[in-house]
């Protein structure tokens, strides 16, 4: 069974901390995505990557950065966590960037910044 | 601006009571419309992709349809295990990303 694994289900961090969210996929997908999900707003794209060391900004990249050193791993970095970054973070991967065959999502990381 | 609006926000049904969820969209050059199911505490699970007006896809009690302005997810004789949040997403022409709606929370009671 194909999987996207996010390293933590729940995280609590302090304002100003540097936070790393890790995502690993075992499907040899080229494309990986980071979304955040907030009530009433749906999923919003933060960053995506279509190849190792390649990245593109999504709709809300401010305050975030990403790293993709290996094909299977895509990391989201909060440089200096703030309370407005409290959210559910979802990682996804796909064979096709268009998601024609559907994105495969991880179970999410619920981040609370206090 | 590309936009996806889902209605209703929440829907409560009795087991066996059929209904439809709506996804209306404005997008420049639709490349695909996607439906996902999301259970509490889990990531979204892919259900369907629709590409052109008039297309229909079915899976068990679910049927998705597409027009030029909207998509419907029809649920026939739902069961409690169909309770979930259903998400709609569109891919605009020329973009390698999906734009999601806020979802419809469906609760099916015995």
Q: Is A71 left (phi over 0), alpha (psi -120 to 50) or beta?
A: alpha
For all residues of chain B together, what is the average pLDDT?
Answer: 94
Residues B74-86: tens digit of each pLDDT? 999 999 999 999 9
pLDDT score for B92: 85
- Provide, rounded to the nearest whole percent, the portion of chain A with pLDDT above 90: 75
Rounded to whole angstroms, how far apart are CA atoms A64 and B87? 25
Residues sharing a CB contact under 8 Å with residue A12, sequence separation 6 or more, in sequence order = A111, A112, A113, A114
Q: How confident is the model at residue A27 (pLDDT cuts 50, 70, 90)?
A: confident
Q: Which residues of A touch B102 (CB under 8 A)?
A: 40-42
Residues B99-108: tens digit of each pLDDT? 999 999 999 9
B9 in Cβ contact with B104 (< 8 Å):
yes
Q: What residue ranges of chain B have pLDDT lower than 70?
A: none
pLDDT score for B1: 82
Residue in this structure with the two tokens 């649920």, named with its chain if needed: B75
Residue of A44, A100, A106 with shortest CB distance to B43: A106
pLDDT score for A62: 96
Q: Which residues of A touch B89 (CB under 8 A)?
A: 43, 99
Residues A29-80: tens digit of each pLDDT? 989 999 999 988 889 999 999 999 999 999 999 999 999 999 999 999 999 9
B74 in Cβ contact with B13 (< 8 Å):
no
């Amino acid at each position: 069974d194909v999987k996207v694994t996010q390293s933590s289900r729940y995280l609590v961090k302090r304002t100003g901390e540097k936070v790393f969210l890790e995502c690993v996929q075992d499907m040899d997908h080229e494309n990986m995505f980071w979304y955040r999900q907030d009530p009433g707003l749906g999923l919003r794209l933060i960053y995506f990557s279509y190849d190792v060391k390649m990245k593109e900004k999504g709709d809300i990249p401010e305050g975030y950065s990403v790293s993709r050193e290996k094909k299977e791993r895509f990391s989201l970095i909060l440089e200096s966590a703030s309370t407005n970054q409290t959210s559910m973070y979802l990682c996804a991967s796909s064979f096709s960037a268009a998601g024609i065959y559907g994105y495969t999502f991880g179970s999410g990381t619920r981040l609370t910044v206090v | 601006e590309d936009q996806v609006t889902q209605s209703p926000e929440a829907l409560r049904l009795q087991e066996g009571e059929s209904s439809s969820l709506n996804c209306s969209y404005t997008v420049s050059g639709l490349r695909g419309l996607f439906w996902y199911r999301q259970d509490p505490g889990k990531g979204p699970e892919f259900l369907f992709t629709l590409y052109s007006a008039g297309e229909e896809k079915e899976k068990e009690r679910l049927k998705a349809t597409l027009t030029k302005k909207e998509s419907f997810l029809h649920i026939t004789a739902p069961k409690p295990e169909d309770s979930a949040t259903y998400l709609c997403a569109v891919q605009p022409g020329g973009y390698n990303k999906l734009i999601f709606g806020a979802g419809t929370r469906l609760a099916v009671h015995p």
